[in-house]
Structure 1
């Protein structure tokens, strides 16, 4: 097995099997490799003391060991008579995408695998932080965070899908106005008659996920953003979310452009509203999540030196994403003490316009990248006496 394949296998194991956050997994890979703990088999044989210098959190250490032993047991059951994994199983396992949803995943496993990084930087660090990105992923990050407040009944998988649908719709409209693309599928009537929700003033065509329930033991966040299980207001909010889930099903954001290309008749989509998503193109949460993780780089450096490894670069981008999401949360929560989520929604685009990366006008600036200063986002916070 090549070093690259071994690295991908280890990263996949840490994220999908051990359920470690991506940023944490990326930061621990070099330490695991240095300690000759690069495979589930090696980790399963390790003693807890061997992992202590690598994984400080006791719960995560136990999680890692349990996952390694579980994987080893599964592989042993799939071995052939000579004790080797069959070529077909090995090939299928190797071909699995890092962000792929396994068919046997439960809703809880799906949602856990889509978790986004939590930033824990000091405000002084956020004030000085500068990222390097283009505009679309910033819209995606702001929208997926907003939907947590405007559509709290929707699981993270749905919020990612709906946010990506919004970004696709706005990007397509912009491309049409610049003459880069022809009329959008929406404008040509491909969404006619389909269920829809409104996100920041735009109609998003959706597919209802009837019967999808993802229960979680995580406490809800209070108004101040502190997770609590004892706060009566938080418990009330959780009850309201449960009631909303009973009334409104989880949703997928439909990919109308893909629907148009596939020439799937709208009537088939309408039938699928109460049946199955088979062959109906949606904006997958995995692609939206992967887009977020790869889009927020650090500004280019002119200093000469050793080029960072792919793992180090991915870890850096994951950390940058966490800091951006933390900054957006701080902005939103500063306003939510005084206005409703629906009122907040009306302000998002204006804020985006004020902080988005500067690029050339027109076609020349399409997809262009530039600096995104988190300090400019923090400057939009509601004044304490406002």
Structure 2
């Protein structure tokens, strides 16, 4: 299956079958909206498997076949060329005609009836219900400014999964600084989930093949985070960049350039910059600015993708295909905020104590993130993004909490002294 790129590409020569939209159909839509409309129609109405639908979005958008009405006015031969399968093309065409006919009938009946009050604007089935800048701000993680002496004395009590999340989220600030926080949280959760699945199989808690092993990720781009390959989806059309993101990028730009020149001669091989896919190989460090134009990413939840095309229980159909199979940042953030306890945490009886406990756990997360910033920051000027990625897992393994072996230790908690993380910093000479 070809690599999926859900975004815009250079225009190609129009075939005779391409048709400009009529005035009545002309709708101003963002790239993200077009992708949503197409995926919803193909997966729900035309019953095309979601993975296959994703692979055809780009071609349909290039041919300006976005809405069911536009697809219905196409012809079978042209759709067969696009889908590579006459049976599937006929299935899509019939679905488009059926949906278009229903909508026309609905429009006629509505126009002849008494005007109804305007409907409330529905929230999108996935994504954002606010402007991107506000959305990113709503996902902010605790930021603390503390002396190293204070950090060295701190100890957090947690299990391994949220510690992996914290390591990955902070790592991505240095290896993929062009990614917004929403993407970093999503990608970190993809890493954590893949690691948990692998561990569950290893200790015998999970049998059978994973969705990845069954090929559900085939066709999606791949990036490597903490040494683990994860499938991603490009968020074309998501314009989130603000002052903070550009400052972060500029702060690492010189470092990456210097690393490339010191460790990798230009004439030997290209520099792999941040997103490890064929389409983002940067041939020269002078092209680093181009990486800033890379789209934001979602981590793809392959198990959700598999479920969306599997058996659907009565009453669950609406939930199975109306949302894209991605790791959403909000649950990941919520998990991080409550995952890091103090050694003194005990059973809580009152609401006041619960509030204080919640605040303490958020504070502990802030302590951990500061320690990780010190760790990654100490090496960022020396190691390339690729090398930093490779070392991150080893650093995590050295400080993760001790738990029982095998299934008995699944979900087990332990102490993580932040001094152990700080000891991994690059030695100062």
TM > 0.5: yes
- Gaps spanning 5+ residues in structure 2: where? 1-119, 259-285, 312-320
Instruction: Give SS of 2:338's match.
Output: helix
TM-score, normalised via structure 1 length: 0.63
For 1:169-318, list aligned pairs within 5 A: 169-182=194-207, 183-218=209-244, 220-221=247-248, 243-246=290-293, 248-263=294-309, 279-300=323-344, 309-318=353-362
Q: Distance in 1 between matches of 2:211 and 2:159?
A: 24
Instruction: Give SS of 1:309's match.
Output: helix
Note if contact 1:127-1:378 (Cα within 8 Å) is conserved in structure 2: yes
Q: Distance in 1 between matches of 2:292 and 2:250?
A: 20
Of the two, which has the highest radius of gyration?
2
Note if contact 1:197-1:206 (Cα within 8 Å) is conserved in structure 2: yes
Q: Sort the Cα spacing of 1:223 and 1:176 in 2 relative to 1 into closer, same or farther, 3 A.
A: same
Q: Distance in 1 between matches of 2:126 and 2:307?
A: 24
Q: Distance in 2 between matches of 1:103 and 1:184?
A: 29
1:107 aligns with one of 132, 157, 167: 132
2:146 aligns with one of 98, 102, 121: 121
Q: Provide the residue aligned with 1:358 in structure 2.
A: 402
Q: Distance in 2 between matches of 1:324 and 1:124?
A: 14
- Output one character per residue of 1:115-143: Cα deviation in whole Å (capped at 9) or x when no partner: 11112121111111011100010111011
Q: Provide the residue aligned with 1:85 in structure 2.
A: none
Q: Sort the Cα spacing of 1:242 and 1:160 in 2 relative to 1 into closer, same or farther, 3 A.
A: farther
Runs of 4+ in 1 over 4 A off after TM superposition: 100-103, 221-225, 239-242, 301-308
Q: Kindly state the Cα deviation for residue 381 of structure 1 after the two structures are TM-superposed.
A: 1.0
Note if contact 1:129-1:375 (Cα within 8 Å) is conserved in structure 2: yes
Q: Kindly state the Cα deviation for residue 280 of structure 1 after the two structures are TM-superposed.
A: 1.9
For 1:40-51, list aligned pairs within 5 A: none
Q: Sort the Cα spacing of 1:376 and 1:194 in 2 relative to 1 into closer, same or farther, 3 A.
A: same
TM-score, normalised via structure 2 length: 0.57
> Is 2:178 aligned against 1:134?
no
2:376 aligns with one of 308, 329, 332: 332
- Output one character per residue of 1:182-216: Cα deviation in whole Å (capped at 9) or x when no partner: 22111121112222222223221111111111121
Q: Kindly state the Cα deviation for residue 240 of structure 1 after the two structures are TM-superposed.
A: 7.6
Q: Sort the Cα spacing of 1:103 and 1:305 in 2 relative to 1 into closer, same or farther, 3 A.
A: closer
Q: Provide the residue aligned with 1:50 in structure 2.
A: none
CA RMSD of superposed structures (Å): 3.3
Q: Sort the Cα spacing of 1:383 and 1:250 in 2 relative to 1 into closer, same or farther, 3 A.
A: same
- Tell me the number of residue pairs that the alignment of Structure 1 and Structure 2 aligns: 270
Note if contact 1:117-1:322 (Cα within 8 Å) is conserved in structure 2: yes
Q: Distance in 2 between matches of 1:222 and 1:153?
A: 6
Instruction: Give SS of 1:115's match.
Output: coil
2:416 aligns with one of 372, 375, 378: 372
Q: Distance in 2 between matches of 1:263 and 1:101?
A: 18
Instruction: Give SS of 2:247's match.
Output: coil
Q: Distance in 1 between matches of 2:334 and 2:347?
A: 29
Instruction: Give SS of 1:347's match.
Output: helix
Q: Provide the residue aligned with 1:162 in structure 2.
A: 187
> Is 2:173 aligned against 1:148?
yes
Q: Sort the Cα spacing of 1:312 and 1:173 in 2 relative to 1 into closer, same or farther, 3 A.
A: same
Q: Distance in 2 between matches of 1:303 and 1:177?
A: 33
Q: Provide the residue aligned with 1:46 in structure 2.
A: none
